[in-house]
Amino acid sequence: MRFRPPTLFPPKGRRWLIPVLLIAVALALWINVAPFTRLTQPMAAARVARLPATPPFYSGEKIMILSPHPDDETLCCGGMIEQARAAGAEVYVTFVTSGDGFEFDAAFEGRQLRPGAGAFRSLALKRMNEARAATRALGIPASHLSFLGYPDGGLLHLFLENYATPYLSPTSRLDKVSYAGAASPGNSYTGLNLERDLTAQVEAVNPDLLLVPAPQDAHPDHRTTSYLALRLMAERGQTSRLRFWVIHGGLEWPLPKGLHRSEPLTLPSRAMNLAWTRADLTPAQVLQKGEAIRVYRSQTALLGRFMQAFERKNELLSTTPLPPGPLTDTAYPSR
């Protein structure tokens, strides 16, 4: 029998493996390694560098964030929260859901393959506690937090099919606001109740700026929060007080994944042409934001590299929900 030296190449019948492996390696480099990401997006950093600066916050200003899930407020705005507080502004956060719809997370946290309603409800209470600790790390007083307790993954259903008839969460099996510490316990899960609760929160604070997800965000809960915020601020004649951010911004955004603190947060592909402004963070603010992100242990265990990708030297805030043009120029005048 002829001796065959060992080879790296697969045998003839499996040569198709070579391009598959090459594509997998290229994808891994593109997603995780900054120089490779830069190669594929040569203009991305320059576009961010050219953006106007986010106007500074001022003493006495009231900043309110509508956070669809516990963690969004820190990912989008942790650095700006620190800047606002340092300037003497007051920061308020309203959490729309308690994050009780994340199946992998409930399975992981509950150590069970098919989590039942109890595991999802436990996850919600855990995430509410993480939200309290993370916002405390950013200096927000507990009295400035509100939890509405609406169903994670269900907001678009409330907005569309369940505006007047109660929605039953397929994960927590709840059809009304039930978590201890929620703002309106017993309110059935309807779009009308959600809209009323959001309006009451905004009326109580009367914020100078309301920071909300952009309607381009890929997550349905984020988009619904955006639609409701747009509607309620239009009714108040205060659309110019809205500012928009994105968390789920399109294919693999933000790139690269993982911890790259000196890299910029580039523009999300789903919302490339909004009227973005750039909030530059100091290294200390980036570190502090990272500390707050790491408080969300139930999330970082599964989404750590995605969440770390927001620990960057800048954050992004748009003054309009649509690209600047005739539709937005009058309704959303620049500040």
Interface residues with Zn ion (CB under 5 A) are: 68-69, 72
Q: At its nearest, how many Å lie between Zn ion and the CB of residue 210?
A: 17
Q: At its nearest, how many Å lie between Zn ion and the CB of residue 229?
A: 14
Biggest CA-to-CA distance, the chain: 87
Q: At its nearest, how many Å lie between Zn ion and the CB of residue 101?
A: 10
- The number of angstroms, rounded, from the C-alpha of 334 to the middle of its chain's C-alpha atoms is 24
Structure-token pair, residue 239: 């659309």
Q: At its nearest, how many Å lie between Zn ion and the CB of residue 69?
A: 4
Structure-token pair, residue 69: 């899930």
Q: Which is nearer to Zn ion, 37 or 169 (CB)?
A: 169
Q: At its nearest, how many Å lie between Zn ion and the CB of residue 70?
A: 8
Q: Which of 91, 101, 104 has its CA nearest to residue 70?
A: 101
Q: At its nearest, how many Å lie between Zn ion and the CB of residue 164?
A: 26
* DSSP letter, residue 179: S
Q: Which is nearer to Zn ion, 213 or 321 (CB)?
A: 213
What single-letter amino acid sits at 146?
A: S
For β-strands 242-245 and 209-213, DSSP reports them as parallel
Q: Which is nearer to Zn ion, 72 or 311 (CB)?
A: 72
Q: At its nearest, how many Å lie between Zn ion and the CB of residue 248?
A: 7
What lies within 8 Å, CB to CB, of 218 at 6+ separation is 248, 249, 250, 270
Q: Where are the alpha helices (DSSP H) in 56-179?
A: 72-86, 103-110, 117-137, 155-159
Within the chain, strands assigned E span 62-67, 90-97, 145-150, 209-213, 242-245, 276-280, 314-318
Q: Which is nearer to Zn ion, 103 or 208 (CB)?
A: 103
Q: For residues 93 and 146, is the Cβ–Cβ distance under 8 A?
A: yes
Nearest to Zn ion by Cβ — which residue? 69
What's the half-sphere exposure (Cβ side, CA atoms, 13 Å) at 202? 30
Q: Which is nearer to Zn ion, 69 or 260 (CB)?
A: 69
Q: For residues 100 and 122, is the Cβ–Cβ distance under 8 A?
A: no
d(CA 241, CA 162): 29
Q: At its nearest, how many Å lie between Zn ion and the CB of residue 177?
A: 18
d(CA 195, CA 65): 16
Report whether the peptide linkage leading into residue 254 is cis, meaning its omega lies within 30 degrees of zero.
yes
Q: Which is nearer to Zn ion, 57 or 78 (CB)?
A: 78
Q: Which is nearer to Zn ion, 253 or 332 (CB)?
A: 253
Q: Which is nearer to Zn ion, 72 or 105 (CB)?
A: 72
Q: Which is nearer to Zn ion, 69 or 241 (CB)?
A: 69
Report whether the peptide linkage leading into residue 52 is cis, meaning its omega lies within 30 degrees of zero.
no
Q: At its nearest, how many Å lie between Zn ion and the CB of residue 155?
A: 10
Structure-token pair, residue 209: 């700026």
